[in-house]
Amino acid sequence: MNRLLKIIAVITVIFYGGCKTMKEKVPAPASAAAPAAKDAFGEQLSKIKAYDFDKSRVDLIKVSDMIREASGKPEMKAMEKQLDDFLKSDASYAAKDFVCRELSVAGTEASVPALASMLTDEKVSDIARYALERIPGPAVDDALRNALRKAKGNAKIGIINTLGVRGDKKAVDALAKLTNDANETVAVAAVAALGRIDDRMATIAIAMVKDKATGATKTAALDAYLRCADRLAAKGQKDAAGAIYKQLYAAGEPMPIRVAAARGMIETAGDKTAEVIVEMLKSTDKPIQTVAIATLKDVAKTDVIKAAAEQLVNLEAAQQAQLVCALADCGDKVALPTVLAATKNSHDYVRVAALRAVGTLGDVSAVDMLVETVASRGGEEQKAAQESLYRLRGPDVDDEILKKLPDAEPKAKVELVRSCEQRNIKIAVPVLMKTAKDADAKVRIESIKALRALAGPQDISALIELQLAAAGNDRGELEKTVVVVAHKTPEDKGQSQAVLAALPSTEDVEAKCSLLSVLGKIGDEAALPVLRDALGDKEDKIKDAAVRALSDWPTAAPAADLLKVAQTSENQVHKTLALRGYVRLAGLKSNRPAEETMKMYKDAMSLAADVSEKKMVLSGLGSTDSFEAMEMASSYLDDKELKDEAEAAVVKIAEERVKNSPRVSAQTRDILQKVIDGTTNDSVREQAQKLLKQGK
Amino acid sequence: MPDNNKVNRRGFLRTAAGAAAGAMAIPYIVPSSVFGADGGVAPSNRLHVGVIGVGGQGTWDMRGFLDKSEALVVAVCDIDVKRQKAAKAEADLKYGNNDCKTYLDFRDVIGRSDIDIIATAIPDHWHSIPAIMAAEAGKDIHGQKPLARTIKEGRAICDAVKRYGRIWQTGSWQRSVANFRRACELVRNGRIGKVHTVEVGLPTGSTRGNESIKPVPEGVDWDMWLGPAPWVPFRGVLHWDWRWIMDYSGGQMTDWAGHHIDIAHWALDLEHTGPVEIEGHGTYPKDGIFNVPYEYKVTTKYANGMTMIIANDRQLPHGMGTCWYGDMGWLHVTRDEPIHANPKSVVDEVIGPNEIHLYESKDHHQNFLDCVKSRRETITPAEVAHRSLTPALLGEIAMLTGRKLKWDPEKEVIVGDDEANRMLSRPMRSPWHLYM
């Protein structure tokens, strides 16, 4: 194949290029102003004569750069002449292709003779057209029309296409004749080209073809006629456009054409738009009904929307659902009564569409209906009503929700509380403080969750009161809420201040533990001394809460305290909790030296009382980016009980290290090789092998 | 040298005629899974899908439809027989039958009157023709981004989709991810104040040496692969690596425009307009088969005075993604990362019901199927895709000409630069043209 192509190329070059060269005259200097530039350009051009697609592009790029540099300057004229001469030379196809691309941007009418001479040759017609199609000026159109008479096959089709792209009005007669061509591809191209020419005679020619043509030519004519109508409509000639659309809307035309024409009719109907849409909604052809519905949003006139909405009851369920969606998209409240009525439709999907539409079109009057639907229905209907309740617009909707909330039935109350959260009703906080103590557990929990989003630092004392008074699940949820709200206070303004203030007066041990737990999660430094003191409390429960709170701390600040508990406590539970907390804190991001982190893990390992605790230490060690950590993990590779965790830790550490620096030391290689040799886990082996390959 | 007799003229005509003459398959029955509660869809109510281009992206899209109970993939098409077979095998395995048909020529798929939806995932230079043909044939279309290879082709797609009343969804799936929508809503609702600058970070490109001319692999229709692009011999670039060659793509910048520029526009309500000034600089390979810039930086200005900088990730402080800078702070969003903002509290802000809420889609392919049934606009309609791509395509022209361009987003012309305007479209190799 390759060889054959080359032979064809050589023959073409000899025949085509050679003949042209013999006829050429020696070109006179085009510009005496820049002979040096011209010579340099000529020299560069000569380097690309034998260019082929598999060769270096370095010299092509130099030519491009020179052309770009000369753009708009006097020397470009002479350079363009050289490019034209190049096309007549025995240069390769690939080189001429390149030059044509350059001329497509930099060329002028001066290049037309050279390019036009290539148009009728099927082998180079496309590349010549690539340039000509983009070059402005009537000389190009003349050349294309002249070539059209002589060209054959794909060259002819290409010329037709280009005349269409250029919108050449003088080509209309010739193209109109070609719509009858025996070759249907030529006829189709001619019709399509006529459709691109903004000319009355072109439109008339297409109208005639559409009536008498068949098959692909007819299809192309119908499309071209539509494009003519669109162009007329865009120019404001709506009557002329409307007349074409009406012809194409006729019952005998293919449905895609009728649908497109229907859209055009609606858009050009002016004062009669409502009438046209209603007529289409009454059509027995569902695609016509559907396009009328889909076009409604583009029209967006109140009288049209109202007229369309009135037709809803006459449509089948699927089109009812489509129309409800379209009415919502129009955003005109004139459709609200229709949409509200549709929420009671006998088809579930129409009801769901209507409930969603209420969210867009509805107002305060819809609150009751939506709340009732959420509370009484399930599935998609419930979800749709819920979403609409959250989206309902208007300044009085929030007030209405708050008004209804205190006396609502529990199911409705839950939805109203959720609406407060979703709608971000900040003034709902006092009401929610009350519903957080509601008799119904679900109402209480939803209220506490809503307070998490809506309450601010000013509400924290009231929330702590609720926390201390609550029990069970409520207290747990309130603890989370207090932490979230405390974090809304700026860091330098004492995030734990209110909790610390409540602590001395709290005597109940469980309540005290709850406050300590909150302090650990807030992580404000002011609370550290209090938690440290609590480690020495006489009550085991308080000690327990203090260990847990320090284990939750967001930095490694209480690490030494936890280590001490793990080393010295007589309570095994506290020892275990403290060790876990200590390992967690060792794994947090920190600026301390790597040796200190290693010491923390070594201390932890020395305190680990059983296999599970040792595994926990190795797991933490895996997130430490140091060779010492890898070395420590590798020391457990021979331990049957800890082998898996040790392998995982080694690979994890190595991965991080390779990511940061691809150089892998000999010691690391040895450790990874040991993992590869000893592991029974395929995934670990593959990871280790991959790391060895990656590391240089 | 090109062999211009290779185009199958017979097939060309047969399908062109068949497509428009066929029955129009608008789904009149709206299954309950769309608006209702049950979710079950009878086979007769399924939307029939034909997938054109079943490489990596096309197969991903096909799987998106295979996973939906209301869609039925009935046809797969590719110029590579191997890929056809693999896609068919996957569809047949899913449905437990042997019904999925394979095609080499996309016109044969569009010509099937029983197909409702055409999904295309083909090289960029091929995006416009099948899309326009599918619209003319009354199909709804899921088209991969970028919308088209040139601005004029993109406009032609938009016009055809509108003319024929079709539903279009571009594969700009980031809009269907909660994180991106949330970031856009925060910016749209003024949480970082008035935006003066937006940075769009896209991937860096790559280079490759020159390639020898090679035999076309068995089962591949090379002439069809080239389609409207200028003829060149096969040099081993077929799947994916076409992305780096200007005849077929504008590289990473135009490819990813449909993601992060799209998101930038969405947040700023600029989806229906474009920049007014564009300048840029690209670093192009000095040799080799690839010729799109691997490093690029384009600066655009909008009519409201805002600046958008589009660059490969290495040249921007936040790397990949979209970062808006306002007079009250900044906000950055990208894939697989939480939203970052300054001040941090912006991230937790609640958008109230009386504020702007953007179109919500939780599942990109599902949104398309829902819209096919409801006839609503999808989350990524053609016009939006066209406007998302335009800054990148203009950036490409600015880099190629080395000039600052002035753009009229209304008329879609470059003001006062004849040479640059020529690059708004590309001549097509015969016999291909936009309105087949």
Question: Domains in chain A, ordered, with CATH?
Answer: 592-696 (1.25.10)
Supply the pLDDT for residue B43. 61
CB pairs under 8 A between A and B: 241
User: Is B215 in contact with B323 (CB distance < 8 Å)?
Assistant: no
- Report the SS3 class of residue A301: coil
User: Is A648 in contact with A627 (CB distance < 8 Å)?
Assistant: no
Looking only at the bridges linking them, the beta strands covering B295-301 and B277-283 are antiparallel
Supply the pLDDT for residue B44. 65
Largest CA distance in chain B: 65
Query: DSSP characters for A569-600?
Result: -S-HHHHHHHHHHHHHHHTS---S-HHHHHHH
Cβ–Cβ gap B16/A188 under 8 Å: yes
Q: In the predicted model, is pLDDT for residue B100 greater than 60?
A: yes
The domains located in chain B, with CATH, are 9-174 (3.40.50.720), 177-359+382-422 (3.30.360.10)
pLDDT more than 70, % of chain B: 90
Give the bridge partners for B301, in sequence order: B277, B307
CA B420 to CA B422: how far, in whole Å? 5
Looking only at the bridges linking them, the beta strands covering B329-333 and B340-342 are antiparallel
Cβ–Cβ gap B30/A424 under 8 Å: no
- Report the SS3 class of residue A394: coil
User: Is A519 in contact with A549 (CB distance < 8 Å)?
Assistant: yes
Task: List pLDDT tens digits, range A70-126.
Answer: 999 999 999 999 999 999 999 999 999 999 999 999 999 999 999 999 999 999 999
**Number of alpha helices (DSSP H) and beta strands (DSSP E) in chain B:** 14, 15
Cα separations in angstroms, A496 against A397, A429, A499, A532: 36, 21, 5, 15
Cα Rg of chain B (Å, integer)? 22
Closest CA to B265 of B315, B314, B322: B322
CA A588 to CA B196: how far, in whole Å? 38
Cβ–Cβ gap A318/B28 under 8 Å: yes
**Amino acid letter for position B271:** E
Q: How far from chain centre, in Å, is Cα A94?
A: 40
CA B98 to CA B96: how far, in whole Å? 7
What is the DSSP secondary structure assignment for residue A270, as one 8-state letter?
Answer: G
Residue A337, C-beta contacts closer than 8 angstroms, at least 6 positions apart: none
User: Is A557 in contact with A531 (CB distance < 8 Å)?
Assistant: no
Q: In the predicted model, is pLDDT for residue B16 greater than 90?
A: no
Q: In what helix (H) or strand (E) does residue B329 lie, and over which residues does it extend?
A: strand B329-333
Compute the mean pLDDT over every residue in chain B, rounded to the nearest whole number.
91
**Amino acid letter for position B173:** W
In this prediction, residues B298-316 reach a mean pLDDT of 97
Comparing CB atoms, the residue among A2, A161, A318 nearest residue B428 is: A161
Cβ within 8 Å of B, A 439-458: 453
B1 interfaces chain A, CB cutoff of 8 Å: yes
Q: In the predicted model, is pLDDT for residue B206 greater than 80?
A: yes
What six digits make up the tokens of B167?
């539903």
- Report the SS3 class of residue A33: coil
Q: How many CA atoms lie within 13 A of A208 on its CB side?
A: 11
Task: Identify which has the larger pLDDT, B436 or B65.
Answer: B65
Comparing CB atoms, the residue among B22, B212, B374 nearest residue A54 is: B212
Cβ–Cβ gap B430/A256 under 8 Å: no
Cβ–Cβ gap A260/B164 under 8 Å: yes
User: Is A537 in contact with A565 (CB distance < 8 Å)?
Assistant: no
Comparing CB atoms, the residue among A153, A255, A453 nearest residue B138 is: A255
Q: In the predicted model, is pLDDT for residue B389 greater than 60?
A: yes
What six digits make up the tokens of B351?
């958008």
Closest CA to A563 of A528, A523, A535, A594: A535
CA A516 to CA B422: how far, in whole Å? 72
User: Which stretches within A470-571 are classed as H helix?
Assistant: 472-486, 497-502, 509-522, 528-535, 540-551, 559-568
Closest CA to A131 of A158, A168, A149: A158
Looking only at the bridges linking them, the beta strands covering B71-77 and B47-52 are parallel
Comparing CB atoms, the residue among B37, B137, B431 nearest residue A189 is: B431
Q: Which residues of chain A have pLDDT under 50?
A: 1-33
- Report the SS3 class of residue B19: helix
Cβ–Cβ gap B431/A219 under 8 Å: no
Expressed in percent and rounded to 5, the helix, strand and coil fractions of chain B are 35, 20, 45
Cβ within 8 Å of B, A 499-538: none
Tell me which of A219, A393, A396 to substitute to probe the interface with B (most B C-beta atoms closer than 10 Å).
A219
Task: Identify which has the larger pLDDT, B433 or A693.
Answer: B433
What six digits make up the tokens of A493?
């303004």
CA A462 to CA A431: how far, in whole Å? 12
